[in-house]
Amino acid sequence: MKNEWPLYEVFIRSKNGLEHRHVGSLHASDAEMAIENARDVYTRRQEGVSIWVVPSSEITASNPENFGELFEPAEDKVYRHPTFYDLPHELKHI
């Protein structure tokens, strides 16, 4: 229906030093109201020190159907991990 307020995705930084994390979404007439509503909906118990809101329509997401081509190539690249390399046990700090 045409009068529905747009949907915003809400991201909260729980404290300085941590990244913003997606917590959910809400409707608001504009970004400013989205922040005010997010304050009431997602931080009633001091869950946040900073809020980002993004119109849901602005988010481009990867398609789960492309999981294989996107993420499987990393599967057989064990040499990207430190444990791949054989070093003597007595060696320290490496």
User: In the block, which residue shows the tokens 């990244």?
Assistant: 19
Work out whether 70 is an interface residue with another protein (CB under 8 A).
no
Report the Cα–Cα distance between both ends of the chain, in Å, rounded: 61
Q: Which one of 11-19, 38-46, 73-81, 85-93 is the stretch in contact with another protein (CB under 8 A)?
A: 38-46
Work out whether 54 is an interface residue with another protein (CB under 8 A).
no
Which residues does residue 53 pair with via DSSP β-bridges, in sequence order? 10
Closest to another protein by CB, 29 vs 50, is 29
CA distance 39 to 62: 29
Work out whether 57 is an interface residue with another protein (CB under 8 A).
no
Among 15, 18, 29, 50, binds another protein (CB under 8 A): 29
Judged on CB neighbours under 10 Å (0-12, 13-18, 19+), 86 is exposed
Chain positions contacting another protein, by CB under 8 A: 1, 3-5, 7, 23-27, 29-30, 33, 40-41, 44-45, 61, 63-65
